[in-house]
Structure 1
Amino acid sequence: MAQARVAPQGVTFRAANAEDVDAIVDIFGRSRAVAMPFLPKLHTAEEDRGFIAGVISEARVTLVSLDKPIGFMAETEGWIDHLYLHPDFRGRGIGEALVRQAMARQGRLQLWCFAENYPARRFYERLSFAIERQTSGDNEEGLPDILYVWQREPA
């Protein structure tokens, strides 16, 4: 496995709560627009807000801040459901720190990644996630995606 990057000094991680919905919706929208411009716009801002509120109530959501919220990861048993960083803070080890926290908590993780999201694919593969299967687009967006899996090696 490649050497771990260290998140910048001053970055904090905490559990997200209902008061964080607007900040997370902002990160979600900005990140998707920059990192995945190929995605169709399917929902209104209010629908995104309701979606994120539901994610916070149903998943373990870690909010990342550096003076202000800059990213989040939603995790359920065996899954990374969402990982988004504000575009200005990508490539600094923050996403890796989030994923490694999930790896420390769980022995196996799965996640879906759009096939066209090459930077994310490289990121997950660098962290030892392997392709389990691919689809031709049986998701809401109708776009090909990849199921990645990571399994902790036995001690």
Structure 2
Amino acid sequence: MNYYIDSVKPAEFPEVVDVWEASVRETHHFLKEEDILFYKPLILQEYLHAVDLRCVRDEENNIVGFLGVAEGNIEMLFIHPDMRGKGIGTMLLHYAVEKLGSNKVDVNEENKQAIGFYEHFGFRTISRSAFDSTGKPYPMLHMILT
């Protein structure tokens, strides 16, 4: 199947949030249900508007993964769980670095798969925060591309 990177229209934000939710439910087992319900409207109403947003589409134009970058920081990179292992995350990460000038990312400390993914591509942890950006007690690793 052919995948391609594209921009995202605001009317497609609900589809992006659906990908986010499916991905989070598959990979962020440390989050409680109330946390997912807390973050979901923030993603839709605030966070997607605050980033340079790109997606990967399949041949049927469905959004199967997405990336958001702000000020050189990868703020979000999520892949639909049915599409994991197909190179979509790698495609988005290369795009972020090469086209959008990204060299930083913050990752939940408990998301070991994501940490391994970024480390595989040369990111290294430079600091740690005990709380996420909303003040919730989910430690974050601050990584930079070395």
1:109 aligns with 2:141: no
Match for 2:11 among 15, 19, 23? 19
1:77 aligns with 2:65: no
Range with bigger deviation, 140-149 or 50-59: 50-59
Change (3 A) 1:108 1:32: closer
Partner residue in 1 for 2:35: 42
Q: Is the CA contact 1:78–1:108 (under 8 Å) kept in the aligned structure 2?
A: yes
Deviation at 1:138, TM superposition (A): 4.9
CA offset digits 1:44-96 (Å, max 9, x no partner):
38x72453243333311111111211111001121100000101111221111
Q: Flag structure 2 segments of 5+ consecutive residues without an equivalent.
A: none
Number of aligned pairs?
142
Q: State the Cα RMSD in Å.
A: 2.0
Q: Flag structure 1 segments of 5+ consecutive residues without an equivalent.
A: 1-8
Higher relative contact order (CA 8 A, sep 6+): 1
Change (3 A) 1:49 1:24: farther
Q: Which runs of 4+ in 1 moved over 2 A?
A: 40-45, 47-58, 105-108, 135-141
Range with bigger deviation, 125-134 or 53-62: 53-62
Instruction: Give aligned-pair identity as a percent.
Output: 23
TM-score (norm 2): 0.86
Q: Is the CA contact 1:18–1:53 (under 8 Å) kept in the aligned structure 2?
A: no
Partner residue in 1 for 2:57: 65
- Structure whose CA Rg is larger: 1
Deviation at 1:137, TM superposition (A): 2.7
Partner residue in 2 for 1:93: 87
